[in-house]
Structure formats: structure tokens, C-alpha cells
Structure 1
């Protein structure tokens, strides 16, 4: 039987879900931010920086920040949007048939005044985390509850704990076109992507990827997102980040399902993106 408890992560109010097999997620109400995912063997699968504030003063570096309604600066509003710095509500939870879940919601009435003024649209977001065995599913739904269309972009900016970057690779991207942080376009030629320097690449979506690390293999699937974003800051950029220890870039890689360009959602319509991570 699944157990749901209210807890704290640092100073952030959070919800912890423990499945019957011992798998566990911890989600902050601040940002509906997944801060920890442990599979039934007790292994932590996500990375959270030791230097990140955990008091709601700024977005958390690590875990899974929720990006909405814009990716990075691809829009006129707050960089990466307001969803990751807003307080969500726990609106549903449960478990049966070997699955257990938490569902969080955010709408325009939940926004701080400055965010509501900057993005004056009626909307409703739901984000459901579902545990089943060694897999974690995300179901992210955006609803336009207003009378006019609005544009939006989304991403689930997942930081994976890889142990050490030098032993990490990603397969499933061979022959895929990508754009890097210099806005150069190229094709992934090698069967596996390895990390020896900064990576900031936007790949066109493929149905699935495999993340290989020194002590784990994770399969990543997505549906209705249009890109994969692969990011690691490298040594120089990591040193410039005040919420990341200088050597912590060696411990993680970000792989995120995304729709980086804002696309319109008609009044009354909804969009749902799905993402699954499965530990082998």
C-alpha cells in the first residue's frame, strides 16, 4: 500500500510518496519540483546541488524543474517561466494495481501578482507523478480555460545523478540533427554521446533514449514533446554558477523532454505531454 506524507526538503514544504515496494518520490509544493526519486533498491536517481537554496527564494538547481510557459528566453516573459517558482497544490493521490501517484495543480489564481500581470491568461496545469516498479511516469497537462488562444512552451528539466560524467553516455541520438549553444547545426554521427566539455544541445525528438552511467542504465521515453535538450555546463560555466559547487558538474547530466518554441493553444483546448524513466 502506498503511503503519502507531508514533509520538508530543506525549508520547502513537500509531499513524499512511498510505494509498497519501497520506491519513493519527494515533491516540493514550490514549483511541483521533483526533488528526489529513489527506486525500490534505495538508489537515488536525481541530482540536487549542495549549493542551491531550498527556501523558495529562487528556483532549485537539480531534481526536475517544471518549465512553463516559456523555455529559457524563447518568449517575452520570465526566463524558463513562472511554474518553477510558483506554489502548486496537491490535488490528488492514490495507488492501486502496483501503481501509486501524486498529482499537483496550478492555475492563474495561484500566481503571485507580478506573474499574473505579466502573463494574464486563464489556464490550468496538472502534473502527475506515477510510480510503478522501477519506472517513473510524468503526465503534464496544459489547459486553456480562457476565451482566447495563448502561446506556451514546456520542458521537464531533469538532472540525473550519473556518479561521474566521464563514465556517462547517451545512446539513441545517432543520425539526429541538433543545434548547439553557438547556434551551429550538425548531425550526431557517433552511436553514443560522451561528455568531455560543455554540452548544450537541442535535438529533434526521438521516441526514446538510453542513459548509461557507471552504475545504472536508464531508458527515457517521451510523447508529444518535440525535442530533447541535453545539457552539462562544463568546468568554466559551472564555476560561474553560485548555486552549484565547482566540481558538481561532474556528477550530473540534464536530459529534458521539451517543446522549446512557444506554440498556440486554442481557447478550451488542452495539451498533454508524457515522459517515462525506467531503471534497468
Structure 2
């Protein structure tokens, strides 16, 4: 493990013995780079993203907590992605390099802490080895009052061309989008040509992303749902931190707990994701 920077942001880089590595900024506990042991960068970050702590990073793996999107009265997508986390531990285990980061109520700016007055500890664990990445997000209620929360790992995968990507594992899974009624996906393979924003509920098993010669397997536990998103040309043009042509170079597939869960005093929850290229 070594301390580094990403833009102007303090960061930590972990390296496995086989060459796999990951970089996480303390701002947001944000995984901004994942290179598999063959040296390939697997995550997308926008070249127009602010990397000075003035706003959330566009790309990588933003941590969504305690609110998903605008589904609540708090900050859109929650405060975890714009708060400063602490490095708690790092090391090696079974050939994998890992680092753990924590965020507590005492780490929050005063205004955010006042708006969400619950005692908690968030813990993010990032581990890399070979062609694999393991992510674990846990939340512990350290206070005396129950609180509701949602969570997600809003992962931006780097791809060569959006319309060549295929996602398997979503057939017959219920989803919601911008239309009034939920639907079941009919297609065996999901293809994107332009904008798509869908929440898939209660995933039955693993997903696979086929993008060019690479096949990525995505497995998750604790997270019940998955979000598939790309802004498409029109919405990308309206995003100040995304270059107009960049929407073709990524696809977001995020493990998520969309419907708020209630965490009792002293209770905990953990969501995990295992990603591996084959």
C-alpha cells in the first residue's frame, strides 16, 4: 500500500504481488482505478470530472449512502460520496492486496451531520488479485435510534463502444424505468444504443458483461437489486462533468439496495460484490 494522489485528492494505492492494483481517494472513499494483473484499466473516469473535492467524482465507484437518487428528502445519492473517509487498515491476504476505509458521523461536516443525526460506521473494503476485484460495504448502527438507509456501489465500467456491450442474467427480472409501469425484461441479452436508466429488482443470480473480447462476471450478496445506467447523447451533453462523447465509453452496472432498509440500534448490514474477468 502506498499513499498517492488522484488529481488534487489524497489517495491510497494497493498493489497485489501479481500486479493487480486499485486506487481509492479518501474523498468519497471512492475507487477511481482498478487495473487487473495484465495492466488493463477496468474503470471509467471522465476527463472533465472535478478532482479537487468540490463535487462528487464522475466515474469509478461512488459509494451511495444513505439515500439512492432523489428517493428521500436528503442529499441526492447521499453524503458518503462527498465526505472524507479514513484509512483504517491495509495488507495482503491469500495473494490479494486490500485496504479498508471508514466513515462515521464525526467525519461529516456539521450541516450534513445535523441533517442526518444518526450514529453510524460505514466500512468499505477493497481487495484486488489477478483479474478479480472484491468490494464490501457495511454499515453499523452505533446509536440508540433505528434509521432507514439505501446503499449502492455506482460502478462505471470502461468499455470500448456502448452499442457493442451485452449484459446477460436479467431475463425475466422485474425492472422500473421512466415509464409508469414496471416490466419484465424479455430479452436474454440487454443491449444499449443510447440512454438507459433501469432498476432491476431481486436479482436471481450473477450477471455477465460482454464488452469486446472481455467478459466480466458480476456476483453480489446483500445487495438485492441492480441498476443499469448510461445517460445517452442528450443527457451526457447536459452534464458539465462529462465530455459529450464519453457516454459511449462506459456502462454503469451497480449492486444496490433500493428500497430503504431499517437498521435497528446495534445492528449491521453488509453488501458485497465480486467482479472477475474471464
Q: Is the pair's TM-score, using the shorter chain for normalization, greater than 0.5?
A: yes
1:1-280 to structure 2, matched below 5 A, reads 4-204=1-201, 205-280=203-278
Could you tell me whether the CA contact under 8 Å between 1:101 and 1:128 is conserved in 2?
yes
1:107-130 deviations in Å (ceiling 9; x for gaps)? 000001111010000000100011
Query: 2:60 aligns to what SS in structure 1?
Result: coil
Could you tell me whether the CA contact under 8 Å between 1:74 and 1:262 is conserved in 2?
no
Aligned CA RMSD, in angstroms, stands at 0.8
Could you tell me whether the CA contact under 8 Å between 2:19 and 2:130 is conserved in 1?
no
1:76, 1:263 → 2: CA distance?
Answer: 16
Q: 5+ residue gaps in structure 1?
A: none
Could you tell me whether the CA contact under 8 Å between 2:152 and 2:254 is conserved in 1?
yes
2:183, 2:223 → 1: CA distance?
Answer: 21
Could you tell me whether the CA contact under 8 Å between 1:223 and 1:274 is conserved in 2?
yes
The count of residues paired between Structure 1 and Structure 2 equals: 277
Query: 1:250 aligns to what SS in structure 2?
Result: helix
- C-alpha displacement of 1:90: 0.4
Further displaced range: 175-184 or 135-144: 175-184
Q: 5+ residue gaps in structure 2?
A: none
Query: 2:226 aligns to what SS in structure 1?
Result: strand
TM-score, structure 2 as length reference: 0.98
Could you tell me whether the CA contact under 8 Å between 1:222 and 1:276 is conserved in 2?
yes
TM-score, structure 1 as length reference: 0.97
- C-alpha displacement of 1:133: 2.2
1:179, 1:270 → 2: CA distance?
Answer: 28
Task: Sort the Cα spacing of 1:27 and 1:183 in 2 relative to 1 into closer, same or farther, 3 A.
Answer: farther
- C-alpha displacement of 1:183: 3.7
Task: Sort the Cα spacing of 1:183 and 1:103 in 2 relative to 1 into closer, same or farther, 3 A.
Answer: farther
Could you tell me whether the CA contact under 8 Å between 2:153 and 2:255 is conserved in 1?
yes
- Runs of 4+ in structure 1 off by over 2 angstroms are 181-184
1:198-257 deviations in Å (ceiling 9; x for gaps)? 100010123210000013110000001111100001111111101000010000000000
2:251, 2:94 → 1: CA distance?
Answer: 33
Could you tell me whether the CA contact under 8 Å between 1:171 and 1:193 is conserved in 2?
yes
